[in-house]
Structure 1
């Protein structure tokens, strides 16, 4: 491959070359590029480990690529056989609970109150993350597989108890996520109210976090206060929202997450989904479907749905 489907802006990606070597690269809509600032890095996670020192120079290169279509000082990268976002799994993936006013409304909630604080659940990074165009395998129609298109924040500089006003200095950039959810096993038939909700069964299935296609630096994306998020299933629009409907902003989510635990370079923070999920209408994904999540200025993430063959 000489390009990566879904790339809309200069992005950092992890690739595998024809010889089997892994490396980081810069992707633009027209090409893949080698550049001195990413050469020598095994993958994007390796770049993020040095983000505090590399960010100013790399951001300038990516911004120039956004203006001209080519990163200055770059060389075309060919003979690439595979691509994904980080390469290796990050330490943590934190997913925001309900965080869009329109999604809350479609699920029957119309106000969280002034005292509302974000809450999160976790997805296991090593088994849930998939690249764009990698399939999610469904076990059974009883799973009731649902889509949730989301903006994902990628941490560049770690920290604990990060003030809201300092969050921008800790964010490397953004990517697109689909928080695939199994609605079937989410609620258990048990009289013990505290144990009715099975978050692992609903949110931690193998392959349930498609992520990508690349990492767009925050400086290239610019403001995330009103980014359109659109999800289609088989080309039909299901979600057509905007981050302007977030209850808690990106800065508030990251700051709150850092009060709960230490954030590390490469950690992913999902920010919630807008209205239009299948659960609100009783419509769910089936093998043969294809889901595409697009965020203008960040990219398009595509996930085919297939059936898992069990033995």
Structure 2
């Protein structure tokens, strides 16, 4: 049941980052055509995704009113003519939700011989991934040196579009600009420095575990938040070489996206361009002792957001 989302064109205008012969640009994708956002808006700074997200209140109105037949004489490129890049550009910060699906928390507890309570009275828990680990659609990811247990995790990614601090649960989703599909690649065997004693405070290694080059595929495009009726009712799935590994729904999250944004903003100011990875369901490789190998093809989908595919370097 992997076909939760279509790899074809989205039903409404979405934002892409692309390479089409003039360097990296931001575009509006509609009907298999890519329109240069800076040109159609007559706003040169919109060639940079950071500027687009920083002006989100204006850009979302532009997307809502966009008419492909009236674009200031701009000539679009066919989608097949461009190379799609990570739509978020280089994000500000990436916050990953740990153990945020009950079934995944349970499977990881079995693997690690730990206890995952997931009580609703607790607050959500996040780690940080390097923004430089981000790659886009059809990227080729090289397995990190010395790793033999690189795992897959499909996730709903939420991109922040407004600066926010100490946000309430009721207002939290108002700060989301757009959504995308993400894959949180994790080098399980690099998460601990096995040459150090178990009780050493330096034994854990989250940098090697979560932030190696290519560890954060995001794409294929950004879907404005107003097009997503309920981020807690989205099917998501992941396959490796065509074999379904994960198949679930965001309604299985322990902490909703709104709760996560509330909790994050209580600890740190959220900025336009920040990305929240909302957790992954059961079905990761470590639960069965199966991991990514050279030449594997990983395909992840979230309903209404498209399909994100990457390959492991052969």
Scaled by the length of structure 1, the TM-score of the pair is 0.87
> Corresponding residue for 1:249?
256
Unaligned runs of 5+ in 1: 62-69
> Corresponding residue for 1:113?
119
| Counterpart Cα distance in 2 of 1:213 and 1:225 | 20
> Corresponding residue for 2:56?
51
Match of 2:70 among 69, 73, 90: 73
User: Would the alpha carbon gap of residues 54 and 29 (structure 1) be closer, same or farther in structure 2, given more than 3 Å must change?
Assistant: closer
Q: Deviations over 1:207-258 (max 9, x none)?
A: 1000111100011122111101100000000000110100010111111111
Scaled by the length of structure 2, the TM-score of the pair is 0.86
| Counterpart Cα distance in 1 of 2:172 and 2:119 | 24
Match of 2:273 among 266, 275, 282: 266
> Corresponding residue for 2:210?
203
State whether structure 2 residue 18 is matched by structure 1 residue 12. no
Give how far 1:38 is off.
7.7
Give how far 1:184 is off.
0.9
Which sits farther off after the overlay, 245-254 or 40-49? 40-49
> Corresponding residue for 2:303?
296
Match of 2:166 among 158, 161, 164: 161
Which sits farther off after the overlay, 75-84 or 296-305? 75-84
| Counterpart Cα distance in 1 of 2:261 and 2:8 | 26
Is contact 1:15-1:87 (8 Å) kept?
A: no
Which sits farther off after the overlay, 101-110 or 291-300? 101-110
Pairing 1:1-311 to 2, within 5 Å after superposition: 7-9=9-11, 10-18=13-21, 20-28=22-30, 30-34=32-36, 36-37=40-41, 40=44, 41-61=46-66, 71=68, 73-74=70-71, 77-78=76-77, 80-86=81-87, 88-108=89-109, 111-125=117-131, 127-140=132-145, 142-189=147-194, 190-192=197-199, 194-306=201-313
Q: RMSD across aligned C-alpha pairs, in angstroms?
A: 2.3
Give how far 1:85 is off.
3.3
| Counterpart Cα distance in 2 of 1:287 and 1:38 | 45
| Counterpart Cα distance in 1 of 2:275 and 2:220 | 14
Give how far 1:296 is off.
1.1
SS across alignment from 2:189: coil
How many residues of Structure 1 are paired with residues of Structure 2 in the alignment?
A: 294
Q: Deviations over 1:127-161 (max 9, x none)?
A: 20001101110145743111000000000111111
| Counterpart Cα distance in 2 of 1:215 and 1:205 | 24
